[in-house]
């Protein structure tokens, strides 16, 4: 059980690791539980039996966990936000009075509130800022160029100095690490996260992935695993977003339970549509399925254009906002794995398209 008293939560940090919580208790069993939860959240706490003697420790800690046994000993502490009173007795009505006396934001009872507390500890340990602007890219039909655009968007974002993570959500696509020339790069791929549950540490996730062209890539390996449970997909993408910057997801055209988890966390989606009638018809079906989960879906049109079609007409036929015409990248005839990814040349038409997209999207995100 976790209950709120009256105070606002502590302000979000601007990013970066903030350190572990301060624990105040003499209850050995409770301390063991709190240390276990801190370890699960990847945090190293500071432990005291009463108010810390070191000046400023109480005020500076990003989160304070006060055992119910220690409430009396911290009653005179300076009031601050981010204090949680932790106990075990669900039937103790006096706990709320003690929480008010010490200025606690929350009252939490173990074991029911364990997951809430792990999430809160991880938030302060990692630093919680604005989540990453998360963009999904999918093709209106096969061969539309969605993977090319996804890679180019990620490469451009990284070149502009944003912390960037590229996620390959299509297990049958051959691997975006191959497109980026990093199929042999050290790091984890999707199958390694299949057993993930609850919360995944954002920093640990990022450090475990291959780094290619100044961005991190979560791709598929060449093994037999082609599915990851939806709860693992949810946990991994949430961890990717907590780091801020930009996350680009290359999506398949089908919507299964795992893809639905990704769609639910996207800020916007780009539907890449070749400018010919059959592709527009196929894209309409994809847009209908995706639009059931993703509220902000836009169309990016790729030439050459069939007679009577232009990018505005394609967008009108699909009933979607137009992002623009996706230019052809000179030199993309290089075979996959050549080491020269889409958007590598900052002066190419495709790179300029991606840069302009990020400029607009980031402005929109800040204004939201």
pLDDT in tens, 33-48: 999 999 888 789 999 9
Give the pLDDT confidence score for residue 140 in this predicted structure.
Answer: 96
How confident is the prediction for the chain on average, in pLDDT? 89
Q: What single-letter DSSP state applies at residue 161? A: T
Structure tokens at 308: 């009577």
Rounded (10°) CA dihedral 67, 70, 72, 74: -90
> Is pLDDT of 55 > 90?
no
Q: Which whole-number Å values give the CA distances from 50 to 72, 111, 116, in the listed order?
A: 9, 23, 24
Mean pLDDT for 302-307 is: 92
Structure tokens at 161: 């100095």
> Is pLDDT of 258 > 90?
yes
> Is pLDDT of 233 > 80?
yes
Nearest alpha carbon to residue 268 among 112, 176, 180, 138: 138
- Write out pLDDT tens, residues 3-12: 544 333 344 3
With a threshold of 0.85, does the pTM exceed it? Answer: no
Give the pLDDT confidence score for residue 345 in this predicted structure.
Answer: 86
Mean pLDDT for 166-185 is: 92
Percent of the chain exceeding pLDDT 70 equals 91
Number of Cβ atoms within 10 Å of the Cβ of 306:
16
Q: pLDDT: is 197 or 191 the higher one?
A: 191
Sheet containing 246-250: order of strands: 211-212, 215-218, 164-168, 246-250, 133-139, 268-274, 297-302, 322-326
Give the pLDDT confidence score for residue 14 in this predicted structure.
Answer: 39
Mean pLDDT for 108-115 is: 92
> Is pLDDT of 143 > 80?
yes
> Is pLDDT of 251 > 80?
yes
Give the pLDDT confidence score for residue 330 in this predicted structure.
Answer: 66
Give the pLDDT confidence score for residue 83 in this predicted structure.
Answer: 97
Give the pLDDT confidence score for residue 332 in this predicted structure.
Answer: 53
> Is pLDDT of 15 > 60?
no
Asked if residues 325 and 357 have their Cβ atoms less than 8 Å apart, the reply is no
- Write out pLDDT tens, residues 78-104: 999 999 999 998 888 899 999 999 999
Q: What single-letter DSSP state applies at residue 269? A: E
Give the pLDDT confidence score for residue 53 in this predicted structure.
Answer: 86
- Write out pLDDT tens, residues 320-366: 999 999 998 765 544 444 557 898 888 899 999 999 999 999 999 98
């Amino acid at each position: 059980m976790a209950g709120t008293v009256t105070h606002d939560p502590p302000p979000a940090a601007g990013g970066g690791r903030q350190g572990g919580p301060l624990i105040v208790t003499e209850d050995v069993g409770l301390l063991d539980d709190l240390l276990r939860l801190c370890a699960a959240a990847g945090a190293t706490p500071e432990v005291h039996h009463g108010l810390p003697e070191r000046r400023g420790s109480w005020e500076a800690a990003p989160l304070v966990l006060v055992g119910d046994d220690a409430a009396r000993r911290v009653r005179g502490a300076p009031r601050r936000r981010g204090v949680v009173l932790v106990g075990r007795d669900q039937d103790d009505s006096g706990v709320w009075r003690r929480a008010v006396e010490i200025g606690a934001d929350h009252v939490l009872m173990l074991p029911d509130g364990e997951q809430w507390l792990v999430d809160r500890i991880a938030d302060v340990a990692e630093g919680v800022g604005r989540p990453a602007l998360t963009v999904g890219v999918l093709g209106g039909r096969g061969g539309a160029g969605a993977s090319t655009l996804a890679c180019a968007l990620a490469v451009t974002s990284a070149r502009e100095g944003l912390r960037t993570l590229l996620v390959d959500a299509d297990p049958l696509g051959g691997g975006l690490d191959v497109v980026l020339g990093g199929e042999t790069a050290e790091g984890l791929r999707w199958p390694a996260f299949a057993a993930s549950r609850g919360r995944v540490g954002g920093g640990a996730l990022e450090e475990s992935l291959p780094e290619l062209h100044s961005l991190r890539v979560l791709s598929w390996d060449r093994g037999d695993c082609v599915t990851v449970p939806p709860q693992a997909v949810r946990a991994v993408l949430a961890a990717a977003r907590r780091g801020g910057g930009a996350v680009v997801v290359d999506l398949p055209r089908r919507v299964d339970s795992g893809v639905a988890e990704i769609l639910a966390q996207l800020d916007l989606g780009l539907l890449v549509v070749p400018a010919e009638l059959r592709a527009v018809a196929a894209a309409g079906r994809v847009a209908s399925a995706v639009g059931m989960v993703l509220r902000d879906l836009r169309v990016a049109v790729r030439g050459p254009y069939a007679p009577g079609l232009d990018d505005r007409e394609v967008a009108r036929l699909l009933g979607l906002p137009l992002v623009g015409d996706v230019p052809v990248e000179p030199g993309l005839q290089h075979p996959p794995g050549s080491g020269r990814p889409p958007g590598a040349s900052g002066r190419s038409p495709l790179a300029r398209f991606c840069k302009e997209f990020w400029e607009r999207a980031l402005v929109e995100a800040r204004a939201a």
